Structure 1
Amino acid sequence: MIAELIQRNDVLPLQSGVLTRFHSRSPPGISVLDYLQRIAKHATLKPPILLSMVYYIDRLCASYPAFTITTLTVHRFLITAATVASKGLSDSFWNNSTYARVGGVKVTELALLELEFLHRVDWKIVPNPETLIDYYKGLIERNDRYIMEGDSIEELDELVEDEDEESDELDTPEQTESGIDADMKDRKEADLSNEET
């Protein structure tokens, strides 16, 4: 899909004076596929993060008409999107120096790219689960090598509904106590009762 966008956008004439922070002077020496695989491997990107990066293409293009995915913008966009998605959607993520090293950019440049991206999408970086499912379905439909069975779609929809219901039920601190915290609390109580006997 990204390759199709690049192929389509590369033939469009570049408007003079309309360069974005995402533009490189020349295309990097690494292919988009190799670059994406490098980021996914070394930044340990999970599927929801990768799907969110696809969503970010549409978000950024819609809110920033000067931006398009081309051979000159795709690499900087990908490392920026990976950084933003990881920080915004994951419980654990790397620091900017790690993302910069993986992406082959300077830390200060990545910080500026990240800030530009967040500003352009109005800091709205968390897609709702239904949107991610739609993007997933779209990617599957675009690729002849993959087939999504009807049951899989229904299971995804049920999973999203279950997560929404669970998040609605979590209103009080007692209800949001994690299983680990509850186990530790039970162990402490058991230890105290053992000490008393």
Structure 2
Amino acid sequence: MYIYNDKFRKARRDYSPYLFHIIKGETPDFLETMTNILNEMKLKSERGYICISASPLTSIVRFFETNVNRTEKTMFLSFGIGFSRDILVRDFGARNVIYYYDDEKELIPEELEWRALRLNGDTSDFEYLREWRINGKEFDFKDFPTEDIIVVAPDRKDLNDLVVSHDVGINLSSYDMEPFLVEEFKREWKGVAVNEVKDFMDDFDMSGSTATQKIG
């Protein structure tokens, strides 16, 4: 009988306990896009599948600094959201991409076409993205455990703007003084700032650092 042991995963620094959806560099209103994703708790795509990546966040920091020649913009921004890989695979059907050469396309069953991607070593080789996919035009993650989600942002300021809600209330609890305004802050999501991931050995180390972040 096979017994799974997590220590072998943690021995690989190129492995992550998360699968990440990262915002494209060409997205004009990326802060608004991220805010909408978190408010609606949905990822949307007209392609018929949602793209995610198995690349460890601690290994791709330079990726966010590399521009595409055609656009002079980065391929992806350092904004995104990470989901527990195990839960996403087990309960939400996430699957790794199947790469095929042109002469193999007919071998791909129709029901697996959503996770198939053409491979050509000279012109179409995107394996370095470590792409995974979720079938469907929409991924509703309202039922995904919030404790197993992390929000990704470039720095602490942008991160706090996304993961911490801010409200102003009136304190009426004291009878011997006038009511006064009270600022209230509440953590809605766990998160990590990209400019701080260099301080972590790998994504497991990074994940451990978010354990002290208490939702609510």
**Whose strand fraction is larger, Structure 1's or Structure 2's?**
2
TM-score, normalised by the number of residues in structure 1: 0.23
Larger Rg: 1
**Whose helix fraction is larger, Structure 1's or Structure 2's?**
1
